Amino acid sequence: MEGGSDKVVETVIAGSYVEMETDGKPTTYKTRLSKFLWDGGSVYDAWFSCASNQVAQVLLTLPYSFSQLGMLSGICFQLFYGLLGSWTAYLISVLYVEYRTRKEREKVDFRNHVIQWFEVLDGLLGKHWRNVGLAFNCTFLLFGSVIQLIACASNIYYINDNLDKRTWTYIFGACCATTVFVPSFKNYRIWSFLGLIMTTYTSWYLTIASLLHGQVQDVKHSGPTKMVLYFTGATNILYTFGGHAVTVEIMHAMWKPQKFKAIYLMATLYVLTLTLPSAISVYWAFGDLLLNHSNAFALLPKSPLRDMAVVLMLIHQFITFGFACTPLYFVWEKAIGMHECKSLCKRAAARLPVVIPIWFLAIIFPFFGPINSTVGSLLVSFTVYIIPSLAHILVFRSAAARENAVEPPPKFLGRWAGVYSINVFVVVWVFIVGFGFGGWASVINFVHQIDTFGLFTKCYQCPPPGGPLPPSPPPMAHHFLNSSFAAPPSHHHGVHLHRQ
């Protein structure tokens, strides 16, 4: 019986969208090239999308989190939240397959429609869950896009400080608006692949450069010192591994979405090979200096290799901005009745109003680092951890639903009882530690940034003119950090803060 059921599911949900969309059209060199570069729907494309999208600018703020948490807690929280994030991504994938299978058995056609998380909740649990999911998801993706824009301005400043960070935000806001021309997640194949190369390079640059730099004079590793800082740092890591608000859209772009299952876990394991070495090394080298420098680039001396890392992260932030914004474009298109329009230019024009509030919010709250924790505690905790766990419990609460489940839990998880227990633990832990303590700490820290720097601050955490140079690296690191063709370190890259 079970084998027969699996066969039915395979037939129902294993359609190849690319074949359906190009049916009857001749295959030319141009379409073959287009398929190779853009039309991604394999498990590998999904893996690249998950791994590339999971860590972007947050790679630069994790050393800052380590300075708040201390080394041991920083490592433990990364491993713990990486596992928790993979678990809830698995739950979302199970619920997506359940929803889609039910709908396709009713002969619903999704060829010109991208399924989103709020629609899964609507189909499985009703309109109240849809509204809650829509509110949290859209707000999280909105601020996720804001964070990418802030990160662009923060990073480019370390290459060119002739303009302040607010001016760079204006410029990059206009540049990021070009993502309105990317139709869907199927078209991110080459970008996801390149994006992962960029984060990999940056991570290992931070790791090697910090180790060669060595520890600064009288380095201190005093964290954790305050509960507020401790839970702010923990919530930033919660945010790091909660980047799967776009999981449903990534799955929908796959030719066989039921193969998603363990992809997010595999992506997380790779991401940990980037986040742990870089955060540990930078914190080891600079210690408590990171408490006042949420961007790790701020403490490393200027060099061509650092500039390359900055440029690669800037390009990656465009990609991640597109990842975070594309689901918002879909929601907006559906709201105004443009989602199934065949004209890309008309859809792009209709999407532009979505970018304006993102641009505006990035200028109001340019607090690179603290804003991650605030978004993590107030939005990610519900969007990514609590709502999927509760939804899974409620969808399969009846014996009939469990009996007819498209994807029942595997034996090694303890079947339904095991999954139920894990879900309850996730809900309780994230609500108390992530939302409760994390929300309290993050909001206090966020308000402190407003009191210190003010809203619409011109240049957040910029050093004063004529500030001291960064600590000089030992001789053995000279070639790697400041090679012979490097420009001398700018006097603007000091280690003190300045309100502008």
- Residue 269 forms part of a structural domain: yes
What value does the mean pLDDT take over residues 245-265? 84
417-423 mean pLDDT: 95
- Residue 497 resides in a domain: no
Per DSSP, helices labelled H in 214-262 are: 227-240, 247-252
Instruction: Identify whether 27 is part of a domain.
Output: no
Q: Is residue 494 included in any domain, yes or no?
A: no
The Cα 276–Cα 283 span in angstroms is 11
370 domain residue, yes or no: yes
Instruction: Provide the 3-class DSSP secondary structure of residue 461.
Output: coil
Rounded-to-integer distance, Cα 161 and Cα 153, Å: 10
Check pLDDT > 70 for residue 440: yes
Domain that holds residue 185: 40-453
Mean pLDDT over the full length of the chain: 80
Residue 7's pLDDT is 41
Q: Name the band, by pLDDT with cuts 50, 70 and 90, for residue 244.
A: low
Residue 374 forms part of a structural domain: yes
Q: Is 114 helix (H, G, I), strand (E, B) or coil?
A: coil
CA–CA gap between residue 91 and residue 9 (Å, rounded)? 18
CATH assignment of the domain containing 334: 1.20.1740.10
According to DSSP, residue 456 is labeled: T
Tokens of 167: 């001016």
Neighbours of 192 (CB within 10 A): 23
Three-state DSSP state, 375: helix
pLDDT at 477 over 50: no
Tally the domains of the chain: 1
**pLDDT top residue among 163 and 307:** 307
Instruction: Assess whether pLDDT exceeds 70 at residue 402.
Output: yes
| Digit-coded pLDDT (tens) for 310-364 | 889 888 888 888 878 888 888 888 888 887 777 778 888 888 888 888 888 888 8
480 occurs within a structural domain: no
* Confidence band for 499, pLDDT divided at 50, 70 and 90: very low
Task: Note the pLDDT tens digit of each residue in 120-156.
Answer: 999 999 999 999 999 998 888 888 888 888 888 877 8
Determine, yes or no, domain membership for 471: no
